[in-house]
A and B are shown apart, each in its own frame.
Chain A
Amino acid sequence: MKRSLFGRVWPNATAVVLFIGLVFPVYWMFATAFKPTGDIISEDPVWFPTDVTFEHFKTATEADHFWTYVSNSLIVTVCAVVFSLIIALAGSFALARMRFKGRRGFIVGFMLAQMAPWEVMVIAIYMIVRDASMLNSLVPLTLFYMMMILPFTILTLRGFVAAVPRELEESAMVDGCTRTQAFRRVILPLLAPGLMSTSMFGFITAWNELPLVLVVNKEAESQTLPLWLTSFQTVFGDNWGATMAASSLFAVPILILFVYLQRKAVSGLTAGAVKG
């Protein structure tokens, strides 16, 4: 199939335009964070930070309790993602590989669970946590964040498990593996990319959560980064440099994780792709 010059140029041209549109907000966040205030508040935008400064990052990280927030966010997010992956793996295996009464009910149940509007239920959750004397603790946060991502994790993993050819598992068992061994040695490695990409979604959801932590944890010692970030507008006023530095710091772990997992997921998949 031969394409005209135009036919070859326009997809690339469109891709470039799209790339710029997609990346600009991210770029502008970092660029602003590194620019001295004079360049940020200037009548004509300074497109490239030629005069790099770390002053805004200093302002942002010197905010009270910053490192507490960082560690709380990491603990809560990682735990929520790991727990939900484990629970979901078990459930998705059953849903994808076994036939039993009520299977459809479970699937639709998880789909419904996925629709839960958590933001509007915060007071109900707050009262439950309060009456259980669990306020200002990371445990309820972890549990509820896990639940927020669990339905999506189960449903997505179910697809990945189903995509692993049954024959592989069966042949492993013929080779003398028990079903558990077959699962661990054959299915789990093939599921690695699936687990990773699912965890990306979970990570980003838990990392971002704001309305719940706002009411449940009033003490700075148990608060998380989204609160720190949103409080900036009042703390720093229109100090966009510090706000963008804070946003950058907030976004960087997720960006790194995505780039890293993306590579892993790809290599896992190419291995899986060989089998056709």
Chain B
Amino acid sequence: MKRKLIAAIGIAGMMVSIAACGGDSDDDGKKAGADGYAGQTLTVWVMDGSSPDDWQADLAKEFEAKTKAKVKFEIQKWNGIQQKLTTALSEENPPDVFEIGNTQTPAYAKTGGLADLSDLKGEIGTDWSESLNKSAVFDGKQYAAPWFVVNRVVVYNKKIWADAGIKETPKTRDEFYNDLKTIGEKTDAEPIYLPGQNWYHFVGLAIGEGAELVKKDGDKYVSNLSDPKIAAATETYKKFQALSKAPKDKDEATPQQGEIFAKGKTGSFIGMGWEGATAIATNPAIEKDLGYFTIPGAAAGKPEGVFLGGSNLAVAAGSKKQELAKEFLKLALSDKYEGGLAKANGVIPNKEALQGNLKGNAAAEAAAPAAGTGDTTPLIPEWAAVENDPNPIKTYLTAVMKGKSPAEAAKQVEGEFNKRLAQQQ
């Protein structure tokens, strides 16, 4: 009576045979060819919207002609990028080259995940602008190549402004506010789309007030949100936000404000040049009405403070194609492509000499006056943790938009903010 045993073996056997057919989905880890770069593929991560498709295509083509190696661009979303990048850098096949936010670069430099590019800097980067390059340097070493920076402008719908009877773009913050009010009264459009958590714009306002987001307390960084100058920036933000029907607890990317604007029922929004392009891509008819102007500051002739958001290009320390990756950087950052990117996207290139490319780009011309006084968030490794969701600065903004005083809100998020700044590295 070995029936039980037989039944068991029968079932077990069936299982093995079926299980055996499950493992045939192989992943192809292509190894680099030995002779030259032929047959190799360089994986490059770029962020959604930061470089145009034809720029990528041209670059890939020329790169292949030059090195025989292919380039595979993979478009990444900002949302959750830090987690994705961290895990990717720990893997056997990380992206060889990747775009990294300028404010996030110091933190990643410190992790050892970025290759040292000091020799590349000596080769092609002697004339990189210092203001762009500083985010790519950590502990005296070059951990990334500066790619571009960009600052926000007012994107506006000329037709709606004309309908409201406004003839000229505003020169001061008060004029801007009054124009928006006029639009609200005279048209049925929403004067400005400004969600409660466009924190880059808030950082710009804070820079305009000359405020710092963090301060030193001994050898640690702590929140400086309770600074009255920050409060002043927040009040300005709130005043304008009150004119918008945009949600107070969302940022400018959920939903993409460019897409909202594309519907033609929004007078303006504060965004970057490429967001105007998003609007045009969503609704080509909007192009003829779309215009840009510098965010006006408190006094005429002195533009509003802006956040210099930007990106660097880095090479993964774990990439097995270091030389090829550097070849790629040389081409991508050459005057042809760096200039081409500036021209196409209206972003500030990494060399002063290339700024001529911005001529004729309406967004870039509107951005230029403010760029000189713009700044970034603190360039310290501790900063990256602050930007992780839920970002305490966003929480702070929403709290104020919903009626808390800036001082109360600052107090509310201070614990979380400090905890992140103090987070063990």
Which A residues contact B (CB, under 8 angstroms)? 75, 79, 82-83, 86-87, 89-90, 93-94, 98, 126, 130, 133-139, 142, 173, 178-180, 183, 215, 218-219, 222, 231, 233-234, 236-239
The 7 closest A-B pairs by CB, nearest first: A237-B255, A179-B3, A238-B255, A237-B259, A90-B11, A137-B27, A138-B25
B77 — which chain A residues lie within 8 A by C-beta? 231, 234
Question: CB distance B260 to A237 under 8 Å?
Answer: yes
- Tell me whether A126 and B12 are in contact in the complex, defined as CB-CB below 8 angstroms, given that A137-B27, A238-B260 are known contacts: no
Taking the closest CB of chain A, its distance from the CB of B329, in whole angstroms, is 22
What CA separation (Å) do A83 and B74 show in the bound complex? 34
Taking a contact as CB atoms closer than 8 A, the residue among A93, A142, A179, A234 that contacts B22 in the complex is A142
What CA separation (Å) do A183 and B11 show in the bound complex? 10
B79 — which chain A residues lie within 8 A by C-beta? 234
Question: CB distance B87 to A233 under 8 Å?
Answer: no
What CA separation (Å) do A65 and B91 show in the bound complex? 23
Residue B7 lies at the interface, judged by CB distance under 8 Å to chain A: yes
Chain B 59-99 interface 0/1 with A at a Cβ cutoff of 8 Å (1 = within): 00000000000000010010100011001101110000000
Question: CB distance A89 to B254 under 8 Å?
Answer: no
- Complex A-B: 8 CB contacts under 8 Å: A83-B22, A87-B15, A135-B92, A138-B25, A139-B22, A215-B87, A218-B87, A218-B88
Taking the closest CB of chain A, its distance from the CB of B389, in whole angstroms, is 13
Question: CB distance B15 to A179 under 8 Å?
Answer: no
B88 — which chain A residues lie within 8 A by C-beta? 218
What CA separation (Å) do A90 and B27 show in the bound complex? 31
Question: CB distance A86 to B29 under 8 Å?
Answer: no
Taking a contact as CB atoms closer than 8 A, the residue among A87, A222, A234 that contacts B256 in the complex is A234
* Chain A residue at smallest Cβ distance from B278: A237
A183 — which chain B residues lie within 8 A by C-beta? 7
Residue B19 lies at the interface, judged by CB distance under 8 Å to chain A: yes
What CA separation (Å) do A164 and B359 show in the bound complex? 82
Among A87, A134, A222, max chain B CB count under 10 A is at: A87
Taking the closest CB of chain A, its distance from the CB of B163, in whole angstroms, is 22
A215 — which chain B residues lie within 8 A by C-beta? 83, 87
* Chain B residue at smallest Cβ distance from A91: B11
Question: CB distance A180 to B6 under 8 Å?
Answer: yes
What CA separation (Å) do A268 and B12 show in the bound complex? 26
A142 — which chain B residues lie within 8 A by C-beta? 22
What CA separation (Å) do A10 and B3 show in the bound complex? 56
Residue B218 lies at the interface, judged by CB distance under 8 Å to chain A: no
* Chain B residue at smallest Cβ distance from A75: B25
11 new A-B contacts at CB < 8 Å, known A86-B14, A237-B256, A237-B259: A82-B18, A83-B22, A87-B15, A130-B87, A178-B3, A215-B87, A218-B87, A234-B77, A234-B255, A237-B260, A239-B259
What CA separation (Å) do A134 and B91 show in the bound complex? 11
Question: CB distance B83 to A179 under 8 Å?
Answer: no
Taking the closest CB of chain A, its distance from the CB of B420, in whole angstroms, is 19
Question: CB distance A79 to B22 under 8 Å?
Answer: yes
Question: CB distance B87 to A126 under 8 Å?
Answer: yes
What CA separation (Å) do A82 and B21 show in the bound complex? 12
Chain B 25-36 interface 0/1 with A at a Cβ cutoff of 8 Å (1 = within): 111010000000
What CA separation (Å) do A134 and B26 show in the bound complex? 9
B23 — which chain A residues lie within 8 A by C-beta? 139
B260 — which chain A residues lie within 8 A by C-beta? 237-238
* Chain A residue at smallest Cβ distance from B94: A218
A79 — which chain B residues lie within 8 A by C-beta? 22
What CA separation (Å) do A202 and B277 show in the bound complex? 44
Taking the closest CB of chain A, its distance from the CB of B256, in whole angstroms, is 5
Taking the closest CB of chain A, its distance from the CB of B14, in whole angstroms, is 7
Residue B390 lies at the interface, judged by CB distance under 8 Å to chain A: no
What CA separation (Å) do A234 and B76 show in the bound complex? 12
Taking the closest CB of chain B, its distance from the CB of A66, in whole angstroms, is 16
Question: CB distance B87 to A89 under 8 Å?
Answer: no
Among B6, B18, B87, B254, max chain A CB count under 10 A is at: B87
Question: CB distance B259 to A90 under 8 Å?
Answer: no
* Chain A residue at smallest Cβ distance from B258: A237
- Tell me whether A180 and B22 are in contact in the complex, defined as CB-CB below 8 angstroms, given that A90-B12, A137-B27, A215-B83 are known contacts: no
Residue B167 lies at the interface, judged by CB distance under 8 Å to chain A: no
Taking a contact as CB atoms closer than 8 A, the residue among B18, B92, B256 that contacts A86 in the complex is B18
What CA separation (Å) do A87 and B22 show in the bound complex? 14
Chain B 18-53 interface 0/1 with A at a Cβ cutoff of 8 Å (1 = within): 110011011101000000000000000000000000
What CA separation (Å) do A83 and B29 show in the bound complex? 27
Residue B253 lies at the interface, judged by CB distance under 8 Å to chain A: yes
What CA separation (Å) do A146 and B87 show in the bound complex? 24
A218 — which chain B residues lie within 8 A by C-beta? 84, 87-88
Residue B10 lies at the interface, judged by CB distance under 8 Å to chain A: yes
Residue B353 lies at the interface, judged by CB distance under 8 Å to chain A: no
Question: CB distance A139 to B25 under 8 Å?
Answer: yes
Question: CB distance B6 to A179 under 8 Å?
Answer: yes
Residue B124 lies at the interface, judged by CB distance under 8 Å to chain A: no
A130 — which chain B residues lie within 8 A by C-beta? 87, 90-92
* Chain A residue at smallest Cβ distance from B21: A79
What CA separation (Å) do A178 and B253 show in the bound complex? 66
Taking the closest CB of chain A, its distance from the CB of B204, in whole angstroms, is 23
Question: CB distance B256 to A89 under 8 Å?
Answer: no
What CA separation (Å) do A94 and B8 show in the bound complex? 9
Taking a contact as CB atoms closer than 8 A, the residue among A94, A180, A239 that contacts B10 in the complex is A180
Taking the closest CB of chain B, its distance from the CB of A185, in whole angstroms, is 13
B288 — which chain A residues lie within 8 A by C-beta? none
B84 — which chain A residues lie within 8 A by C-beta? 218
Taking the closest CB of chain B, its distance from the CB of A184, in whole angstroms, is 9
Residue B4 lies at the interface, judged by CB distance under 8 Å to chain A: yes
A133 — which chain B residues lie within 8 A by C-beta? 29, 92
Among A173, A180, A219, max chain B CB count under 10 A is at: A180
What CA separation (Å) do A136 and B88 show in the bound complex? 11
Taking the closest CB of chain B, its distance from the CB of A75, in whole angstroms, is 7
Taking a contact as CB atoms closer than 8 A, the residue among A75, A90, A138, A239 that contacts B8 in the complex is A90
* Chain B residue at smallest Cβ distance from A134: B27
What CA separation (Å) do A236 and B262 show in the bound complex? 13
What CA separation (Å) do A180 and B259 show in the bound complex? 64
Contact residues, B88-143 vs A (CB, 8 A): 88, 90-92
Taking the closest CB of chain B, its distance from the CB of A143, in whole angstroms, is 8
